[in-house]
């Protein structure tokens, strides 16, 4: 239980610990009890529930490997297996939804035109391979990118291959960091947190820009329609 004690010391919280800290405690205990497959289970859950932090679990897997609970190779192998499993589950969520249901859902959302949905689908059909591969290395999108892959029925072998490759790169960065940093593994979390917040800010800014442009476009259409009506009179 050396690893668990070190984790608790590094993430001590006088208020009793945050949800993330408790999840990290659980993940470390799981890895110590059942070995590297425990890392796979934790990462699979992280894929299914994006708020759970891979940026904490992966360095912990590397740290646990450095303590001799399992090898570095096992840490990389099993975390990648967990990533593939979680991503594949979400892929089938997308397949179950299908294009028709997806269009119906988006059709109910304000400011969303079905033409926009068709354009996004067309873009994914053309660039889906890059989106899946690089998406595995972007916080939040790591999980969500699997759903449009399922909706568009991307070839399963292709999806799994791209997911494995992208996940291996992402996982290796954090697992190796945790392995070589040892008890200072939590240093990685700070940098990962900044990167995640940057991604969130950029996405939020893009959503706001998109909403502003859609509102302006809608107002322009209404103004043009009124002018046409006045001209007809």
Number of compact structural domains in the chain: 1
Domain, as residue range, for 164: 2-186
What rounded mean pLDDT belongs to the chain? 76
The answer to whether residue 82 is domain-embedded is yes
96-145 pLDDT, tens digit per residue, is 988 888 877 776 766 666 676 777 777 788 888 988 999 888 877 788 88
Q: What tokens does 70 get?
A: 């399992």
pTM, whole model, 2 decimals? 0.71
Kindly state the helix (H) or strand (E) to which residue 228 belongs, with its residue range. helix 187-232
pLDDT (0 to 100) of residue 10: 39
CB 86 within 8 A of CB 48: yes
Distance, in Å, from the CA atom of 68 to the CA atom of 113, rounded to the nearest integer, reads: 55
Q: Is residue 145 classed as helix, strand or coil in its secondary structure?
A: coil
Closest CA to 196 of 145, 123, 142, 147: 142
Closest CA to 166 of 94, 93, 92, 83: 83
**Poorest-pLDDT segment among 101-105, 173-177, 205-209:** 205-209
The answer to whether residue 129 is domain-embedded is yes
pLDDT (0 to 100) of residue 28: 76
pLDDT (0 to 100) of residue 218: 63
Mean pLDDT, residues 189-209 taken together: 64
DSSP labels, 23-75: HHHHHHHHHHHH-HHHHHHHHHHHHHSTTS-HHHHHHHHHHHHHTTSS-HHHH
Kindly state the helix (H) or strand (E) to which residue 207 belongs, with its residue range. helix 187-232
**Poorest-pLDDT segment among 47-51, 90-94, 211-215:** 211-215
The answer to whether residue 11 is domain-embedded is yes
Please say if the pLDDT value at position 197 is more than 50: yes
The answer to whether residue 27 is domain-embedded is yes
Burial of 65 (0-12, 13-18, 19+ CB in 10 A): buried
Cα angle, residue 93 at apex, residues 98 and 43 outer, rounded to 5°: 150
Cβ count near 42 (within 10 Å): 27
Closest CA to 102 of 88, 87, 81, 120: 120
The answer to whether residue 121 is domain-embedded is yes
The answer to whether residue 18 is domain-embedded is yes
The answer to whether residue 233 is domain-embedded is no
pLDDT (0 to 100) of residue 69: 79
Please say if the pLDDT value at position 173 is more than 80: yes
The answer to whether residue 204 is domain-embedded is no
74-94 pLDDT, tens digit per residue, is 999 999 999 999 999 999 998
């Amino acid at each position: 239980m050396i690893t668990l004690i070190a984790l608790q010391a590094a993430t001590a919280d006088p208020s009793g610990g945050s949800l993330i800290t408790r999840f990290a405690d659980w993940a470390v205990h799981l890895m110590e009890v059942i070995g590297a497959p425990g890392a796979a289970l934790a990462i699979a859950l992280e894929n299914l529930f994006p708020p759970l932090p891979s940026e904490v679990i992966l360095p912990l897997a590397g740290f646990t490997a450095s303590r001799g609970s399992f090898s570095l190779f096992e840490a990389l192998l099993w975390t990648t297996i967990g990533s593939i499993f979680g991503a594949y589950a979400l892929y089938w969520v997308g397949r179950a939804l299908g294009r028709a249901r997806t269009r119906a859902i988006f059709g109910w959302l304000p400011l969303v035109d079905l033409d926009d949905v068709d354009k996004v689908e067309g873009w994914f059909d053309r660039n889906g391979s890059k989106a899946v591969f690089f998406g595995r290395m972007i916080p939040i999108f790591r999980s969500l990118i699997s759903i449009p892959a399922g909706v568009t029925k991307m070839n399963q072998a292709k999806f799994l291959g791209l997911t494995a490759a992208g996940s291996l790169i992402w996982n290796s960065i954090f697992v190796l960091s945790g392995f070589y940093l040892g008890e200072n593994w939590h240093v990685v979390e700070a940098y990962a947190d900044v990167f995640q917040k940057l991604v969130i800010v950029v996405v939020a800014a893009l959503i706001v820009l998109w909403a502003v442009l859609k509102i302006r476009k809608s107002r322009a259409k209404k103004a043009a329609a009124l002018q046409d009506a006045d001209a007809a009179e």
